[in-house]
Amino acid sequence: MQNFPAIGLIECSSIARGMTITDAVVKKAEVRLLQSSPISPGRYLLLFWGPVAEVEESLKDGLAACGDKLVASLFLPGADQQLIDCLLKRTLRPETDSLGVVETFDVSSALLSADAACKAAEVKLLELRLAHGIGGKGYWVVTGMLHEVQAALEAGAAIAGDKLAQQETIARPHPDMLNFLW
């Protein structure tokens, strides 16, 4: 079994506190930032990754620094590497047979559902967008053979549960449409 990294997430209701939390998290252990920025509506989102034990320790310190400003948190040990690669913009444009899109009402469910989808089927994660400019929502896009995309969407939707906003399958997308994903 591959040794997958972990992802930590803290969303708080204060931008100033978010910056303090970021400092506490990166000082605690050897973790790397994926995102640390204000999001709508006036909240702050911190995402970081690294080895499981380090992420867990940094998350504890971050949550302690967050105090009563906590909106959401997530500890995702064993995260699929595609999530990290996508967030760091380290993905290559693969051949596209079909697309699957899942939209969720929050960031945590977007991460959890994308992770489940990548582990459930032979798909490539093309995009993982979290919170910025979409009102705190999240969405992800995968590509692969139609049956694999459908299996990935099924797994992702099941994990998202009542946080699922919408899911769509696009068989044989037009090349002009694909240009907007990159």
Collapsed DSSP state (helix, strand, coil) of residue 55: helix
Choosing among 3.30.70.250, 3.10.350.10, 3.30.70.1710, 3.40.1440.10, the CATH entry for 6-76 is 3.30.70.1710
2: confidence class by pLDDT, cuts 50, 70, 90: very low
Please list the residue range(s) of the chain that carry CATH number 3.30.70.1710: 6-76, 81-181
Please state the rounded mean pLDDT for residues 160-164: 97
- Quick: pLDDT tens for 47-78: 999 999 999 999 999 999 999 999 999 999 99
Residue 182 confidence (pLDDT): 59
CATH class of 81-181: alpha beta
- Quick: pLDDT tens for 121-142: 999 999 999 998 888 899 999 9
